[in-house]
Amino acid sequence: MSRTPRTGVAPVTEQPRQADADPAPAAPAPGGPTPAAPAPVVPAPVMPAPVMPAPVMPAPVMPAPVMPAPVMPAPVVPAPVVPQGSPTVTPAGAATATPQGSPTVAPSATALARSAVEAAGRLLARPTVGLGDVVPAPVSVRPRPAADFVLPADAAVRVSADPAAREVAEHLAELLRPATGYPLPVADLPTAPGPLWLTLGAAAAPRHTGPAAGDEEGYRLDVDPDGVRITADTATGLFHGVQTLRQLLPTAVESRTPVAERWVVPGGTIVDRPRFPYRGAMLDVARHFFGVDDVCRVLDHLARYKLNHLHLHLTDDQGWRIAVDSWPRLTTVGGRTEVGGGPGGWYTAADYRRIVEYAARRHITVVPEVDLPGHTNAALVAYPELAPDKVAPPPYTGTEVGFSHVDPADERTYAFVADVLGELAAATPGPWLHIGGDEAYKVKGAAYTGFVERVQRIVAGLGRTVVGWHQITPAGQVDSRVLQWWGTDGDDPTVAEAVRRGARLILSPGNHAYLDMKYTPDTPLGHNWAGLIDVHRAYHWDPATHLAGVPAEAVLGLEAPLWTESVTSLAEIEFLLLPRLPALAEVAWSTPSTRSWAGFRDRLAGHGPRWHAAGIAFHPSPEIPWPAAPPVRHLPHTAPTSRPTHTTPAHTPAPGTPQPMPAPAPRANDTRTS
Ligand code: TNX
Report CA(430)–ligand 1 centroid distance (Å): 24
- Label residue 127 by pLDDT band (50, 70, 90): confident
The residues, ordered by sequence, that sit 6+ positions from 442 with a Cβ below 8 Å of its Cβ are 12, 374, 402, 403, 405
What is the atom index within ligand 1 of the atom nearest the CA of 316? 11
**pLDDT over 70 (residue 286):** yes
What is the atom index within ligand 1 of the atom nearest the CA of 436? 9
**pLDDT over 60 (residue 190):** yes
Determine the residue type at 358. Answer: Y
For range 398-421, the mean pLDDT: 98
pLDDT at 78: 25
The residues, ordered by sequence, that sit 6+ positions from 80 with a Cβ below 8 Å of its Cβ are 260, 261, 262, 633
Report in angstroms the alpha-carbon separations of 209 from 149, 200, 219, 233, 272: 21, 12, 10, 11, 12
Q: Whose CA is nearest to atom 12 of ligand 1?
A: 563
DSSP, collapsed to helix, strand or coil, labels residue 97 as: coil
For range 24-35, the mean pLDDT: 31
pLDDT at 62: 32
Residue 132 C-beta-side C-alpha neighbours within 13 Å: 13
pLDDT at 536: 98
Percent of all residues in the chain with a pLDDT value above 90, rounded to a whole number = 70
**pLDDT over 90 (residue 158):** yes
Look up the pTM and report it: 0.80
Rounded-to-integer distance, Cα 29 and Cα 31, Å: 6
CB atoms within 10 A of CB 73: 10
Mean pLDDT for the chain overall:
80
Rounded-to-integer distance, Cα 266 and Cα 248, Å: 7
Q: CB burial class (10 A; 0-12, 13-18, 19+) of residue 146?
A: exposed
**pLDDT over 80 (residue 120):** no
pLDDT at 121: 55
What's the start-to-end Cα distance of the chain, in Å? 31
Q: Whose CA is nearest to atom 2 of ligand 1?
A: 486
Measure CA 313 to chain center: 16
**In DSSP terms, which residues pair with 507 in a beta bridge?**
485, 558
DSSP one-letter code for 207: T
**pLDDT over 80 (residue 99):** no
**In DSSP terms, which residues pair with 559 in a beta bridge?**
280
pLDDT at 570: 98
User: Of the given ranges (320-329, 391-400, 470-479), which has the lowest mean pLDDT?
Assistant: 470-479
Q: Whose CA is nearest to atom 4 of ligand 1?
A: 563
Rounded-to-integer distance, Cα 617 and Cα 578, Å: 8
What is the atom index within ligand 1 of the atom nearest the CA of 527? 14
Measure CA 144 to chain center: 30
> Peptide bond preceding 91: is omega within 30 degrees of 0, i.e. cis?
no
| pLDDT higher at 510 or 44 | 510
Residue 460 and residue 421 in contact, taking contact as beta carbons nearer than 8 Å: no
Report CA(529)–ligand 1 centroid distance (Å): 10
> How many residues appear in the chain?
674
Selecting among 217, 338, 439, 572, the annotated active-site residue is 439
For range 447-456, the mean pLDDT: 98
Q: Which of 312, 434, 439 to mutate to test the pocket of ligand 1 (most atoms within 8 A of CB)?
A: 439
| pLDDT higher at 42 or 621 | 621
pLDDT at 673: 37
Rounded-to-integer distance, Cα 672 and Cα 434, Å: 38
Binding pocket residue ranges, ligand 1, CB within 6 Å: 1, 401, 438-439, 469, 486, 514, 516, 527, 563, 565
For range 377-401, the mean pLDDT: 98
Report CA(37)–ligand 1 centroid distance (Å): 32
Report CA(373)–ligand 1 centroid distance (Å): 15
pLDDT at 631: 52
Alpha helical stretches, state H, 7-106: none
| pLDDT higher at 659 or 305 | 305
What is the atom index within ligand 1 of the atom nearest the CA of 287? 12
Number of H helices, E strands in the chain: 16, 23
pLDDT at 193: 78
- Label residue 153 by pLDDT band (50, 70, 90): very high
Report CA(592)–ligand 1 centroid distance (Å): 29
DSSP, collapsed to helix, strand or coil, labels residue 210 as: coil
pLDDT at 116: 55
| pLDDT higher at 44 or 301 | 301
- Label residue 254 by pLDDT band (50, 70, 90): very high
Q: Whose CA is nearest to atom 13 of ligand 1?
A: 563
| CA nearest to 65, candidates 620, 624, 625 | 620
> Peptide bond preceding 190: is omega within 30 degrees of 0, i.e. cis?
yes
Q: Which of 285, 315, 338, 438 to mutate to test the pocket of ligand 1 (most atoms within 8 A of CB)?
A: 438
Report CA(563)–ligand 1 centroid distance (Å): 7
The residues, ordered by sequence, that sit 6+ positions from 85 with a Cβ below 8 Å of its Cβ are 98, 100
Q: 352-374, pLDDT tens digit by residue?
A: 999 999 999 999 999 999 999 99
| CA nearest to 275, candidates 232, 233, 215 | 215
Q: 495-554, pLDDT tens digit by residue?
A: 999 999 999 999 999 999 999 999 999 999 999 999 999 999 999 999 999 999 999 999
| pLDDT higher at 442 or 479 | 442
Report CA(128)–ligand 1 centroid distance (Å): 42
What is the atom index within ligand 1 of the atom nearest the CA of 508? 2
Report CA(609)–ligand 1 centroid distance (Å): 33
pLDDT at 111: 57
Residue 195 and residue 228 in contact, taking contact as beta carbons nearer than 8 Å: yes
Active site includes 439?
yes
pLDDT at 623: 98
Phi, psi of 214 (to 5 degrees): 85, -10
Phi, psi of 420 (to 5 degrees): -65, -50
For range 414-428, the mean pLDDT: 98
- Label residue 123 by pLDDT band (50, 70, 90): low
**pLDDT over 50 (residue 251):** yes
DSSP one-letter code for 26: P
**pLDDT over 70 (residue 15):** no
Q: Which of 563, 565, 576 to mutate to test the pocket of ligand 1 (most atoms within 8 A of CB)?
A: 563
Q: Whose CA is nearest to atom 6 of ligand 1?
A: 563
What is the atom index within ligand 1 of the atom nearest the CA of 486? 2
**pLDDT over 60 (residue 244):** yes
**pLDDT over 80 (residue 341):** yes
For range 9-28, the mean pLDDT: 31
pLDDT at 128: 85
Rounded-to-integer distance, Cα 226 and Cα 275, Å: 31
Q: Whose CA is nearest to atom 9 of ligand 1?
A: 438
Rounded-to-integer distance, Cα 619 and Cα 447, Å: 44
The residues, ordered by sequence, that sit 6+ positions from 549 with a Cβ below 8 Å of its Cβ are 493, 496, 499
- Label residue 589 by pLDDT band (50, 70, 90): very high
